[in-house]
Amino acid sequence: MKKLLIAAHGSRISSSNDELQVLVEKVSDNLGVAFDGVEVAFLEFASPSIEIVLVDFFNSQTTEVVVLPYFLSAGAHVMNDIPREIQKALDQWPDKKITVLPHIGALDTMAGVIVEACNR
């Protein structure tokens, strides 16, 4: 089983975190059969944590996880915190595979998203 984990910062404002749950549903509806599920996890201020979601994934027969850092720039969370969480999981489950995608701000398609927003 292969799952997608959207790794976000988290907010003290619950409605902000709820927006990401809505995004997960939209992604899940459009992702197709390549993935068996999509979840969001947070680094701070919100639940569930990346660690908890990875534990849940690997305890439920998931063998591969793709992580999308939901960040616009490569700051400390992208460069240090997410890799640290990934390594903790791999230390516990060395037979599992975790692939980390570029953070969303680094994706070439982000320029198109900005242009589309401006042309509304």
Q: What pLDDT shows up at residue 110? A: 96
Domain ranges of the chain: 2-118
The tens digit of pLDDT for each residue in 104-113 reads 999 999 999 9
Residue 32 pLDDT exceeds 90: no
Q: Which residue has the higher pLDDT, 32 or 69?
A: 69
Average pLDDT for 12-40: 96
Assigned token pair, 17: 């975190």
Q: Average per-residue pLDDT in the chain? A: 97
Q: What share of the chain is helix, strand, coil (3-state, %, to 5)?
A: 50, 20, 30
pTM: 0.95
Task: State which fold the 2-118 domain adopts.
Answer: Rossmann fold (3.40.50)
Q: Smallest Cα–Cα separation from 110: which of 71, 84, 62, 61?
A: 71
Average pLDDT for 75-81: 98
Residue 43 pLDDT exceeds 90: yes
